[in-house]
Amino acid sequence: MQGGPSTRLGAALRHAASFLFKQPEQKKQILLVTDGAPADIDVRNPQYLRHDTKKAVEELVTRDVRTFCLSLDPRAGDHVSRIFGPKDYMVVDDMNRLPERLTMLYAGLTR
């Protein structure tokens, strides 16, 4: 599997958070599942959407929302680490292992 265009992660995070902020629970988390790096056909600078996504993650941290990224792109390690931080992402490089990795992820996020 490889990523394709039109992956506006920052916008997706902000949109999801707008619903999450209306919930009464104190512990809030977003699990973002993506097929690739932030990209879109109308943005010429590939770094722009990466910086926008990092900014969205930082904004959520200030509002006590943990954001975790599950990337299905085996080449995603470098950019997701820079965007989400070294402990808040997982790359699934073999789709056959996705159920196992989701189980591990769920157990870790709900502790």
Give per-residue pLDDT as tens, 11-63: 999 999 999 999 999 889 999 998 877 766 777 787 888 899 999 999 999 99
63 inside domain: yes
Point out the least confidently predicted range of 4-8, 18-22, 62-66, 96-100.
4-8
12 inside domain: no
Asked if residue 83 lies in contact with residue 91, where contact means CB atoms within 8 angstroms, the answer is no
Q: Can you state the angle between helices 46-62 and 77-84, rounded to 10 degrees?
A: 40
3 inside domain: no
16 inside domain: no
71 inside domain: yes
- For residue 59, what are the contacts with CB-CB under 8 A and spacing of at least 6? 14
Which residue range(s) make up the domain with 54? 27-109
Q: Which tokens hold the place of 38?
A: 């932030």
User: Residue 108 belongs to what H/E stretch?
Assistant: helix 98-109
Establish how many alpha carbons lie within 13 A of residue 89's alpha carbon, considering only the half-sphere containing its beta carbon: 23
pTM above 0.75, yes or no: yes
